[in-house]
Amino acid sequence: MSYEETQRRLVRVFEAADQDDSCDDSGSDFEIDNVGQRSSESDSEQEVGLPNEEENEAEGSEERESNDNRPYFTGKNGTKWFSVPERSNVRTRSENIIRERQGVKDIGKNAKTAVECWKLFLTDEILQEILLHTNSQINLKRTACENSHVKKYIMADLSSSELKAFIGLLYLAGQFKANKLNLKDLWISDGSGVEIFRTTMTLKRFQFIQNCLRFDDKNTRSERKATDNLAAIRSFFEKFVANCQIVYTPSEYTTIDEQLPSFRGRCSFRQYMPNKPNKYGLKIYALVDAKSFYVINLEIYPGKQPTGPYALSNKAYDVVDRLVAPISKTNRNVTFDNWFTSYPLMLHLLKEHRLTSTGTVRKNKPEIPSQMLQTRNREIPSTVFGFQKDISLLSHVPKKNKVVLLMSTLHHDDSVVADTNGTQKPEMIIFYNQTKGGVDVVDELCTNYDVSRNTKRWPMVIFYAVLNMAGINSIIVYKSNNSSNLSRRNFLRDLGIGLVSEHLQNRKENQHLPRELRKRILDQVDEPSHSQRPPNKVPKPIRRCQICPTKKDRKTKHTCYKCNRYLCMEHAVFTCQDCAQTEDDYENSE
């Protein structure tokens, strides 16, 4: 086709486009489609055609905006917020459709007892790793104290059953709310102590295990610390978190917040948070199910990491991006507070992770219109809404001179409903109040039956925090598998006794233990004590007292229960059963 013919054809196209609306549009559309098709046939025509297409798209968007006559607010950075929502769609939005059912996954459905549920999170592999590194530390201490007066049984290698017994005693101490009580008060033998602690192990052995507990190879730690501040706990912690994610499917509502296990010792990344009960401690970011309070994901704040594979950003945007990885693309909702909330983050979660989010907003965000920050001449309670296609914003005045800002990609209307007190509030605020406390409830549950002990080593703080959260996750799995309403207090007691029972079974076979101690152990393992007692002694004839001089010739039938020497009443000591065995007797018997 010649140049002149092409020009004449383009003129006819433009003339057809300018005709009255009563004209036939099919011809003009056909011609325009042909022009677009031709523009893709050569590079030169494509370069000319692209700017025209961009201009047409820009003109179309301006026309759509001009046709939207809804009033709007403008943020500091030019972000538009319409005060009236768009027409609500009849169909449910795709980000609100959940395709997974909440509950225990196949890997954990066969766990029926408290110990079986607990072992889903702290598996035998994790316990064997702790056992290996702890025994290495015990060997070092034993070598250093070879000529010490410390008894050999106290510095003996740790067995698997004894490690579980040690953890079981921690749970029992937490169940008795004795985590801050002096250990001597738990082992005391005057009747005010707890018997299962004395029958399981001696106080000195418990303290020795506590001091020697390790979670990594001490020989290679300095090398790993060059690139990782969390080298001493990294492997143990990550394996526990991975187990949490493969056992349970959370509900559609989750919460992200911070935990602060108490710690005042030396640590380069210890935090001070005045709004927390403990104020000083190690910060842990947590993703928790807002309905069942199941812990899904955890991340320890490590401070500024050395250059290497663990040098990750600690900004709120990046922390949330990593925490939501286990629930990415599942159409769930995430609720967080104003430290995490930002306009770019919420859009990122919606588009990249297919997750909706709800959170309070700080007043200094550039997307907030100035009209939403004003409190003068606003009624109490009153709410101003701002809407976009994917995100909504509200400004609520709950009382005089106070404004609450909330942003959500889950809510797209201005509905107002009554809360539990009968007060009219926006549905967005009521939803936030119902789902914001997931991590706070986990903190409260951990505090109620806390297993932690005072320590100067920060890895032990993480270890105690993991035990607390393993106890919470375990009872959730237990209730789901057994359809039970067992209280958490009774569950932790069953868990502690279950972890201790294997060691008690092994200890009852020790013939060197005092008879009364073995009797109490047999009672605790539900075995008749008479069947396991040493056989009764055959009655012996009356003989002379082996302490009195021969010339006195005192005959007696009584013998010492330890050395079996014959004793007359002058050399016999009378005592009750409870006072017969002291702490020294326990240690000597080992």
How does residue 526 score in pLDDT terms, banded at 50, 70 and 90?
Answer: low
Over residues 82-93, mean pLDDT: 73
pLDDT at residue number 388: 92
pLDDT at 348 over 60: yes
More confident residue, 189 or 321: 321
3-state secondary structure of 64: helix
Over residues 16-41, mean pLDDT: 37
Question: Which residues, 6 or more positions from 128, have their beta carbon under 8 angstroms from its beta carbon?
Answer: 160
Within 380-509, residue ranges assigned H as helices are 427-435, 438-448, 458-482, 488-507
Question: Which residues, 6 or more positions from 404, have their beta carbon under 8 angstroms from its beta carbon?
Answer: 360, 395, 396, 397, 398, 429
pLDDT at 203 over 90: yes
Cβ atoms within 10 Å of 462's Cβ, excluding its own: 23
Measured in whole angstroms, the distance separating CA 543 from the mean position of its chain's CA atoms is: 69
Residue 15 has which token pair? 């003339």
**pTM for the predicted model, two decimal places:** 0.77
3-state secondary structure of 494: helix
| CA distance linking residue 257 with residue 276, whole number of Å | 12
How does residue 52 score in pLDDT terms, banded at 50, 70 and 90?
Answer: very low
* pLDDT one-digit tens code per residue, 107-153: 999 999 999 999 999 999 999 999 999 999 999 998 887 766 667 77
| CA distance linking residue 26 with residue 373, whole number of Å | 52
* pLDDT one-digit tens code per residue, 426-473: 999 999 999 999 999 999 999 999 999 999 999 999 999 999 999 999
Within 68-202, residue ranges assigned H as helices are 114-119, 124-144, 160-175, 183-187, 195-200
Percent of the chain with pLDDT over 90: 57
pLDDT at 581 over 60: no
Using alpha carbons, select from 233, 230, 126, 107 the residue that is nearest to residue 470: 126
pLDDT at 278 over 90: no
How does residue 32 score in pLDDT terms, banded at 50, 70 and 90?
Answer: very low
More confident residue, 576 or 461: 461
How does residue 1 score in pLDDT terms, banded at 50, 70 and 90?
Answer: low
Cβ atoms of residues 19 and 26 within 8 Å:
no
Residue 364 has which token pair? 């200094």
Look at 95-99, 334-338, 345-349, 499-503 and tell me which has the smallest mean pLDDT: 95-99
Average pLDDT, the chain: 83
3-state secondary structure of 297: strand
Question: Which residues, 6 or more positions from 391, have their beta carbon under 8 angstroms from its beta carbon?
Answer: 343, 346, 347, 350, 407, 408, 409
Plot region of 294 (φ>0 → left; ψ -120 to 50 → alpha; else → beta): beta
